[in-house]
Amino acid sequence: MADNLEKLVETQLIINGEWRPSLSGQKYEVRNPANPEEIVGFAARANADDVNLAVEAAHKAFPEWSSLSYHERAEYLRRVDKELVADKEDLQFRTRLFTREHGKILKESGMEMSRLGDRFLLCAGYAERLSQDEELQGPPFDTIITRQARGVALLIVPWNWPLSILGAKLPQALITGNTVVIKTAYESPLAPALTIKKMVEVLPPGVINLVTGPSSEIGDALLTHPLARKINFTGGIESGRHIMAMAAKTLKPVTLELGGNDPAIILEDADLSQESLQRMAMGTFLTAGQVCMALKRIYVHTSRNKELVEGFTGIVSKHLVGNGLNPDVTMGPLNNEDQLRFVQGLVADARQKGATVNEVGQIEDKELFKRGYFHRPTIITDVDPETEVVKKEQFGPVVPIIPFERIEDAIRMANDTEYGLCSSVWTTDKERALQIARQLEAGYTYLNAHGPMAQDSRAPFGGFKESGIGRALGFEGVLEFLEYHSISSAPGWLF
From the list 56, 83, 292, 422, the catalytic residue is 292
Active site residue 422: no
Chain-centre distance of CA 126, in angstroms?
22
Question: Beta strand 320-321 with 468-469: parallel, antiparallel or unpaired?
Answer: unpaired
CB atoms within 10 A of CB 8: 10
| CA–CA gap between residue 72 and residue 117 (Å, rounded) | 18
Instruction: List Cβ neighbours of 62 (8 Å cut-off, separation of 6 or more).
Output: 149, 151, 152, 177, 178, 179
Q: What share of the chain is helix, strand, coil (3-state, %, to 5)?
A: 40, 25, 35
Q: Is the dihedral of CA 185, 186, 191, 197 positive or negative?
A: positive
Contact 292, 259 (CB under 8 A): yes
| CA–CA gap between residue 461 and residue 471 (Å, rounded) | 5
Q: Number of helices and strands (H, E) in the chain?
A: 19, 23
- Mind giving me the DSSP string for 167-206? TTTHHHHHHTT-EEEEE--SSS-HHHHHHHHHHHTTS-TT
| CA–CA gap between residue 348 and residue 338 (Å, rounded) | 15
| CA–CA gap between residue 13 and residue 219 (Å, rounded) | 15
- Terminal-residue alpha carbon distance, the chain: 65
Question: Beta strand 27-32 with 468-469: parallel, antiparallel or unpaired?
Answer: unpaired
From the list 83, 112, 257, 466, the catalytic residue is 257
HSE value, Cβ hemisphere, 13 Å, CA-based, for 344 = 11
Contact 156, 231 (CB under 8 A): yes
| CA–CA gap between residue 157 and residue 32 (Å, rounded) | 20
| CA–CA gap between residue 384 and residue 224 (Å, rounded) | 43
Instruction: List Cβ neighbours of 128 (8 Å cut-off, separation of 6 or more).
Output: 70, 71
Closest CA to 71 of 6, 130, 120: 130
**CB-based burial of residue 63 (10 Å sphere; 0-12 exposed, 13-18 middle, 19+ buried)?**
exposed
Enumerate the active-site residues: 257, 292
